[in-house]
Amino acid sequence: MAERKADEIFKEFKEHSIAEFFKKNRQMLGYSGKVRSLVTIVHEYVTNSLDACEEAGILPSIKVSIKAEESEEKYRIIIEDNGPGIPKAYVGKALATILAGTKFNRYVQQRGQQGIGAAGCTLYAQITTGKPIHVASWTGTGDGFECDISIDTVKNRPVTNNVMDFKSQGRGLRIEGVFGDLKYENSEHGALEYLKRTALSNPHAEIIFVGPDNTESIFPRSTDIMPTRPAPTKPHPLGLSVNDLLEFAHLSKNTSISEFLLETFSRVSQNKVNEIRDAANDVDFKKQPKEMSWIDAEKIIKALKDIKWISPESTNIRPIGEEQIRKAMQNIFMPEFMHVIERKPRIFRGGIPFVVESAVSYGGGSGKKTDEGYSGTIMRFANRVPLLFDSGTCAISYAIKGMDWKRYNLDIEKDPVSIFVNVSSPHIPYSGVGKESIAQEDDIIDEIKLAVMEASRGVQRYVSGKMNLEHEANRYEIIMRYAKQLSRDLSSLTGKDQERIEGEIESLVESKFPKLKKKPEENSTQLEGLEK
């Protein structure tokens, strides 16, 4: 074969748009299977609706409808919300431009992070059915509009057609699209389960789902309390890598490294700067941050690790909250018992804070019914968003399955147990663009284990107390079986009244089993007290 020169080879060199890339690699957006692709579409639109409503201070009401089309594996998906709507000038960028949005540049907790989701849905409809997305928006100003939207994949820009204005005093957004290469399944990986778990992690939202068979499922809100909006904060210095520090420094407009550290990172005071300078004594803290070298950054990072720090600020994190989780779990599972834990903020690489919440529920509707009885379920969440797929590589699954459950008198393979874990952070380290699995960061895994272990100990005390009560009840029943015969024999020996002897025997036995004399609700209260 004849050799080719570099000039000839590089004539084929072309620059592609990000939309073209994802058109050929749709699996990177979560469209890697028919069931998963349908859930991904629902997920992207529902999370956008939740975020929009919360930004506007509106309690979310969301309706999701899935209708089968005549063609096999095609579905019409409609999402309606009561949010603030999208202004006409931004609808194209919001729904049909890859890597465009309001979230990417904010150091604050949010469900979406990359500006891909809704535009990815538009792209998926386009490449599987050739049809645009139809949008109707009411912004509450008296005016509304509707239009069809698609993507120019070569230039990664929106194409808007059939724009119509109308008058409306309402507010909200309605998105309708026909998508192909999908499959609807009523399973633990289906759209209904996704929405059930979304209602669980967002108790302030009302969610209505209408499936292909026209069956309506309603998940009413468990609380009217809106979540507190997280406020942007600065990154914490602990967990920074050398490269992280250099990137911050080279973008800084400060006149000295001392000033740069004070203004760029949280929990850094002048005293802390003095400590860092003393520990990294070879670094000139008066020079501009842009002049910081790799060696300088290495010394500062080492100094940061040698200094004691208080926990990171949590104003940019919005966990669900113990009481809200408890209400949601009670509303959906009505468990026999549960224990809820919210850990303090921690940090992982890059100085990024995160909070882990965990709940373990037992009995009632917890777990999953099987032919053999029950099995436990693990419910994974990131920033209130359910994670249904890729569980094998997720930090949550890894942490839970690595625990010794025998210590807690629980068998997650056979007991009616539901384990809830939510990780909240301004930056969730997903293991893929599909955002279905949290990367196995050591700091996050350790914190998840501690949270689940603490919640499990509460359930362990309840289960142990229940087992003790059952054991006592069995002993009591065995003894009382012989009370009548014993009273009859004693009566014949002593000549005393049999009923009186039987009553005295019962009183004596009951005095040895004081817990069994209580009413069932009193025993239940006693066991619930173990949680505290």
Give the strand pairing for 417-424 and 377-382: parallel
Decide which of 170, 188, 219 is a domain's last residue: 219
The arithmetic mean of pLDDT across residues 257-268, rounded, is 92
The model's pLDDT over 62-121, given as tens digits with 9 standing for 90+, comes to: 999 999 998 788 999 999 999 999 999 999 988 988 655 544 444 445 555 444 678 889
Secondary structure element (H or E) that encloses residue 459, with its range: helix 442-481
Mean pLDDT of 120-124: 89
Question: Based on the domain organization, do 366 and 426 belong to the same domain?
Answer: yes
**136 lies in a domain?**
yes
Predicted confidence at residue 4, as pLDDT, reads: 64
| Residue 483 placed within a domain | no
Q: Is 327 left (phi over 0), alpha (psi -120 to 50) or beta?
A: alpha
| Span 9-37, average pLDDT | 62
Domain termination site, one of 186, 219, 252? 219
Between 486 and 102, whose confidence is greater?
A: 486
Residue with tokens 């008296």, as numbered in its chain = 142
Q: Does residue 230 carry a pLDDT above 90?
A: no
Pair (165, 285) in one structural domain: no
Same structural domain, 214 and 118:
yes
Number of domains forming the structure of the chain: 3
Across the range 479-505, mean pLDDT stands at 79
Q: Using alpha carbons, select from 449, 459, 387 the residue that is nearest to residue 417.
A: 459
Q: Which among 376, 350, 372 has a CA at the least distance from the CA of 428? A: 350
Q: Which residue among 169, 188, 219 closes a domain?
A: 219
Report whether 425 contacts 355 (CB < 8 A). Answer: yes
Q: Do 212 and 276 belong to one domain? A: no
Token pair of 236 as six digits: 């914490």
Q: State yes or no: pLDDT of 505 exceeds 60.
A: yes
Q: For the chain, give the percent of residues with pLDDT over 90.
A: 52
Query: With bands split at pLDDT 50, 70 and 90, how would you rate the model's confidence at 164?
Result: very high
Quick check: 142 pLDDT over 90? no
Q: Which of 379-383, 480-484, 498-502 has the lowest mean pLDDT?
A: 480-484
Residue 220 has pLDDT above 90, yes or no: yes
Q: Supply the pLDDT for residue 528.
A: 46
Judge whether 271 lies within some domain: yes
Question: What pLDDT, on the 0 to 100 scale, is given for residue 154?
Answer: 79
- 23/161 same-domain check: yes
Q: Would the pLDDT of 525 be above 80?
A: no
pLDDT of amino acid 380 = 97
DSSP designation for 255: S
Residue 289: pLDDT over 90: yes
In a domain, 173, yes or no: yes
Q: Is 82 within a domain?
A: yes
CATH of the domain at 366: 3.30.230.10
Average pLDDT, rounded, for the chain = 84
Which residue, 327, 532, 311, 318, is CA-closest to 422? 318
- Characterize the bridge pairing of strands 61-68 and 206-210: parallel
- What residues have CB less than 8 Å from 90, skipping those under 6 apart? none
* DSSP one-letter string for 169-181: S-EEEEEEEEE-S
Token digits for 401? 């399955």
For the entire predicted model, the pTM comes to 0.75
Classify residue 315: in a domain, yes or no. no
Given a cut of 90, is residue 288 above it in pLDDT?
A: yes
The pLDDT confidence band at residue 506, using thresholds 50, 70 and 90, is: confident
Name the β-bridge partners of 133: 149
Here the CATH number for the domain that contains residue 270 is 1.10.8.50
Q: Write out the residue range of the structural domain in which residue 285 sits.
A: 242-306
Kindly state whether residues 390 and 455 are assigned to the same domain: yes
Instruction: Please indicate, yes or no, whether residues 269 and 389 belong to a single structural domain of this protein.
Output: no
288 and 340 in one domain?
Answer: no
137 within 8 A of 95, measured Cβ to Cβ: no
On whether the CB atoms of residues 252 and 260 are closer than 8 A, the answer is: yes
pLDDT-derived band at 10 (thresholds 50, 70, 90) equals: low
Q: How confident is the model at residue 249 (pLDDT cuts 50, 70, 90)?
A: very high
From CA 518, how far away is CA 493, in angstroms rounded?
A: 34
**In this predicted structure, what is the pLDDT of residue 435?**
80
State whether 283 and 409 are in the same domain: no
Between 279 and 17, whose confidence is greater? 279
Taking 50 as the threshold, does the pLDDT of residue 522 lie above it?
Answer: no
Residue of 138, 194, 196 whose CA lies nearest to 164:
138
Residues 280 and 367 in one domain: no
Better-predicted residue by pLDDT, 392 or 503:
392
pLDDT reported for residue 442: 93
Any idea which of 64-73, 387-396, 457-466 has the lowest mean pLDDT?
457-466
Shared domain check, 180 and 89: yes
Gyration radius from the chain CA atoms: 30
pLDDT of amino acid 310 = 80
When pLDDT is averaged across residues 7-29 and rounded to a whole number, the result is 55
Is residue 468 scored above 70 in pLDDT?
no
pLDDT above 70: percentage of residues in the chain: 83
* 410 falls within a domain: yes
Residue 44 sits in a domain whose CATH number is: 3.30.565.10
Q: How far apart are CA 359 and CA 422, in angstroms?
A: 9
Average pLDDT over residues 450-456: 96
**Within this chain, do residues 300 and 326 fall inside the same structural domain, yes or no?**
no
Please state which of the ranges 50-59, 104-113, 176-185, 338-347 shows the lowest mean pLDDT. Answer: 104-113
Please choose, from the candidates 176, 120, 129, the residue with its C-alpha nearest in 3D space to the C-alpha of residue 148: 176
Does residue 116 lie within any of the structural domains?
yes
Q: Which residue has the higher pLDDT, 311 or 227?
A: 227
